[in-house]
Structure 1
């Protein structure tokens, strides 16, 4: 089975951001996507070009066009966010983002009317009905399908970095899960989600997809929801591992890290390098560690079980990518990584708010609503007390106590 690949400009960028619609009285997730999307749809069009339905009617996904750099992607998302936020406000609704909603039960949510999602629920049943989760997906363009699988394989070494930096789902239906990212564990229960299979090349990917389609497991590659995957229609490698980011600052930071990293791997292939292909059990364990401990994880470096603090590995990576960030025009966004390590990732900020308010998770919702408006600025009295300066971080997991 031949899968056509639409070549993209090197390091072109596209970002998808899944937003939650909030009842401002109860702070619960609430339906509103149908009305909002009808409201903002351009006259004569069937749908808005950059705001879409998702599985639940309490979710709207905003997407960029094909962008040349992070600044362009940020401006694109900002315009769509403003449009959606204004339309939501006219209905008494707020807009926020995190990997999960702290208090709302998935069982209370209405499925979107689009046939695709109705069919998904019919096929996957309970697994789909509880997918009340929210993410950020970043596409980075590559020119050749023959680069896609080596880059996907190499990126699995960095999945814990992206997951820990974006982790924003410590709560599930009103309870602290003890995880930094519960979203990642909920999502990987789907039969075609989670870590990618380690394939040998594009022909192996085509053979894999032929098997799935012939067996009627999926209709297309769109239903293979790996944490990182090739996207033939767009000519990209797509990172899907990230929890939903509460601020546009964090979305831009993640996009910069992804763009720089894929750009580096792409150029290494051009120079004749063989990209690393980590062992699957190491990749699986490292993902778990990042989901459980977030930035305080220690990740495995090699088959001998050598470990390193994830904070240290993240800082080393951003230092290595800094020259690429300057060339691609995203140095400022890449520098936000160290700022985030200093003030804490979203899962830490959420727990700090809960602790300061006797466990009241509606205050966590309020904090997320505020962050959507203000960006990545955290008052000193709400910063996690256990978050050290990143250059002096320890790996004692002290920040993982339940709120």
Structure 2
């Protein structure tokens, strides 16, 4: 199989954000996307952003256009959210974002009536029906196909950092899981999901796809659901490891970190330097640690097995790569990673709200609704 990697401008940014629809009183999910999407999709036809449906009818996804900078892509997402709110507010629907809903049950949710989704559920059964998960995807343009897998393999060492910053699924079906990101471990149960295979050449990826298509595992490259993957149609590397960010500023921060890391690795390749890679068994352990402990995790950062706290390693990364962020025009968004480390990621804020409310998870949903409207400064209810 020969697969073209589309031309793409270097270090451009594209964002996708999956958003929950909820009842404003009960906080439970509502499967009302189908009644909204025809109009929203039509309205976005002439815009840079798009508004579409997803696997479940309780979800709407918004995507940006191709941004020359993080702020360009984030502005697109902001306009998309405003368009969605113009439809959901009059309809009595609230919006929120996290990796999981605190108490909704899978058997109450409806699958969107599309062949691709029905085929997925038919194959995956119970695990597929339990995919009550929401995430963000960050695309970064890569100008040379030969760079794709060296950058993916180097960037994989930072997947636990990204996963920890975005972790927002500490509850599952009404239970406190003890994990910062329960979504991370649920999602990897799907076929072709989870950590990427350690490939090094584009031809190896083509061989992998040929094997998967020939054996009926998938129809095409769009069904590769790795935590980080090539997106040949767009000419990008796509990071998919992150839970749904609860606020737009946090989405911007994580997008900036991904963009800066990709550009940093791209520059190293331009200079003829090889990029460091971790063994696959370290990636597997790091993913679990980040899912369990979030930004309090200690992760393995080199082949020697050196272990560092995520907070400490990220702080050093912010200092080291600040000039790259300045060059890319995302210095403010990049610095705001520090705010997440200081104030707590979404999972920590949700747990604090649950504790303050005596374990009432409806309070957590209302907290997430407030945050989605107003940002992390709205994390605690008014007294």
Q: Same fold (TM over 0.5)?
A: yes
**In 2 relative to 1, CA 315–45 (structure 1 residues): closer, same or farther, beyond 3 Å?**
closer
Q: CA RMSD in A?
A: 1.8
Q: Which whole-Å CA distance do the structure 2 matches of 1:34 and 1:124 have between them?
A: 23
Q: Which whole-Å CA distance do the structure 1 matches of 2:62 and 2:266 have between them?
A: 27
Q: Which whole-Å CA distance do the structure 1 matches of 2:189 and 2:318 have between them?
A: 31
- The alpha-carbon deviation at position 326 of structure 1 amounts to 0.8
* Aligned residue-pair number: 382
Partner of 1:91: 91
CA contact (8 A) 2:28 2:104 kept: yes
**1:198-237 correspondence to structure 2 within 5 Å:** 198-237=198-237
- The alpha-carbon deviation at position 305 of structure 1 amounts to 3.0
- The alpha-carbon deviation at position 146 of structure 1 amounts to 1.1
Is 1:42 aligned to residue 49 of structure 2?
Answer: no
Q: Which shifted more, 107-116 or 119-128?
A: 119-128
CA contact (8 A) 1:102 1:172 kept: yes
**Structure 1, unaligned runs of 5 or more:** 383-403
Partner of 2:67: 67
Partner of 1:360: 360
Q: Which whole-Å CA distance do the structure 2 matches of 1:324 and 1:76 have between them?
A: 23
**In 2 relative to 1, CA 352–177 (structure 1 residues): closer, same or farther, beyond 3 Å?**
same
- The alpha-carbon deviation at position 304 of structure 1 amounts to 3.9
Q: Which shifted more, 313-322 or 364-373?
A: 313-322
Partner of 1:141: 141
- The alpha-carbon deviation at position 25 of structure 1 amounts to 2.1
Q: Which whole-Å CA distance do the structure 2 matches of 1:29 and 1:232 have between them?
A: 34
Q: Which whole-Å CA distance do the structure 1 matches of 2:46 and 2:64 have between them?
A: 18
**1:83-162 correspondence to structure 2 within 5 Å:** 83-162=83-162
Q: Which shifted more, 93-102 or 206-215?
A: 206-215
- The alpha-carbon deviation at position 318 of structure 1 amounts to 1.4
CA contact (8 A) 2:349 2:379 kept: no
**In 2 relative to 1, CA 33–46 (structure 1 residues): closer, same or farther, beyond 3 Å?**
farther
Partner of 1:279: 279
**3-state SS of the aligned residue for 2:376?**
coil
- The alpha-carbon deviation at position 58 of structure 1 amounts to 0.1
Q: Which whole-Å CA distance do the structure 2 matches of 1:345 and 1:44 have between them?
A: 31
Partner of 2:265: 265
- The alpha-carbon deviation at position 42 of structure 1 amounts to 2.4
**3-state SS of the aligned residue for 1:90?**
helix
Partner of 1:401: none
**In 2 relative to 1, CA 277–29 (structure 1 residues): closer, same or farther, beyond 3 Å?**
same
**In 2 relative to 1, CA 40–108 (structure 1 residues): closer, same or farther, beyond 3 Å?**
same
- The alpha-carbon deviation at position 10 of structure 1 amounts to 0.3
Partner of 1:245: 245
- The alpha-carbon deviation at position 158 of structure 1 amounts to 0.2
- The alpha-carbon deviation at position 321 of structure 1 amounts to 1.6
**3-state SS of the aligned residue for 1:52?**
strand
**In 2 relative to 1, CA 40–48 (structure 1 residues): closer, same or farther, beyond 3 Å?**
farther
CA contact (8 A) 2:183 2:243 kept: yes
Partner of 1:168: 168
Partner of 1:391: none
CA contact (8 A) 1:170 1:178 kept: yes
- The alpha-carbon deviation at position 303 of structure 1 amounts to 3.9
- Cα deviations by residue, 1:211-241 (Å, 9 ceiling, x for unpaired): 1111111111111100000111100000000
- Cα deviations by residue, 1:213-270 (Å, 9 ceiling, x for unpaired): 1111111111110000011110000000000001000110011011111011111111
- The alpha-carbon deviation at position 49 of structure 1 amounts to 6.2
**3-state SS of the aligned residue for 2:61?**
strand
CA contact (8 A) 2:164 2:291 kept: yes
CA contact (8 A) 1:212 1:218 kept: yes
- Cα deviations by residue, 1:190-229 (Å, 9 ceiling, x for unpaired): 1200000001211111111111111111111111100000
- The alpha-carbon deviation at position 378 of structure 1 amounts to 5.1
Partner of 1:396: none
Q: Which whole-Å CA distance do the structure 2 matches of 1:148 and 1:126 have between them?
A: 34
Q: Which whole-Å CA distance do the structure 2 matches of 1:121 and 1:75 have between them?
A: 34
- The alpha-carbon deviation at position 11 of structure 1 amounts to 0.3
- Cα deviations by residue, 1:48-85 (Å, 9 ceiling, x for unpaired): 96011100000001001111001111110000001112
CA contact (8 A) 1:354 1:361 kept: yes
**In 2 relative to 1, CA 234–44 (structure 1 residues): closer, same or farther, beyond 3 Å?**
closer
